[in-house]
Amino acid sequence: MTKPRKRTAILISGRGSNMMKLVEAARTPGYPAEIVAVISNRPEAEGLAWAAARGLPAIAIDHKAYATRAAFEAKLHTALMDHGTELICSAGFMRMLTGGFVDRWRNRQLNIHPSLLPSFPGLDTHQRALDEGVKIHGCTVHFVRLEMDTGPIVAQAAVPVLAGDTAATLGQRVLAAEHHLYPHALALVASGLAQVSDENVLISDGFNQEQALFSPSLRAAVT
């Protein structure tokens, strides 16, 4: 008998390109999660129209219509429960959540962040990576905790920083990695292969690779 798929809602605030990749992945046979709703705190978010056009429940909950964060989050929670949500994926959801919400969804809410956490939490991650001169950058999927961009790390993808990169070119390289990483990370969590233990994520055996990304590449100094 096949295992029931995890009912997953996606929170967005804008373009929604990661949301699109999650929706596409969830439509492949055998994927362990199904997308039951796409919810945005910004009614004009481009991703909402995309989701609606694909027959998904696309729900706008305008945070500006609520006097307090708690009131907004109560509405959000109700919408999630109405759709039988078991897992949340924040995907470019640019709204801070309070402890009440975060605790309710503890170990059931994922976020994607465009840096190799714990480096560069917050905004402008690509420019800050360039300013620091790091040679490897990337993205992280993690469980959500109260402090922004913290929480047990499920998966990361690394990309090289190349000579001449701008925040835009580096950001495109990272975004391409995000589009592979998030469906992979959600599958690990939804299938139960990734689990939180002592504020670390344990991944069941057989999924670790021993290759390293060298940047600059090892060939560079060899004549």
Among 8, 16, 165, 187, contact with ligand GAR (rule: CB under 6 A): 16
Nearer to ligand GAR, 85 or 125 (CB): 125
Among 112, 154, 185, 186, contact with ligand GAR (rule: CB under 6 A): 112
Q: How far apart are CA 144 and CA 85, in angstroms?
A: 16
Task: Convert residues 43-72 into a mask of x (bound to ligand GAR by CB under 6 A) and - (unbound).
Answer: ------------------------------
- Name the 3-class secondary structure at 136: strand
Q: Over the Cα atoms of the chain, what is R_g? A: 18
Which one of the spans 35-43, 53-61, 107-115, 129-137 is the region binding ligand GAR (CB under 6 A)?
Answer: 107-115
Nearer to ligand GAR, 22 or 190 (CB): 22
Instruction: State both tokens at 129.
Output: 């990576």
Based on the shown chain and the rule CB under 6 A, indicate whether residue 86 belongs to the binding site for ligand GAR. Answer: no
* Alpha helices, DSSP H, located in 5-132: 17-26, 46-53, 69-82, 99-104, 125-132
**CB neighbour list of residue 81: distance below 8 Å, 6 or more residues apart:** none
Binding site for ligand GAR (CB under 6 A): 12, 14-18, 91-92, 112-114, 149, 175, 178
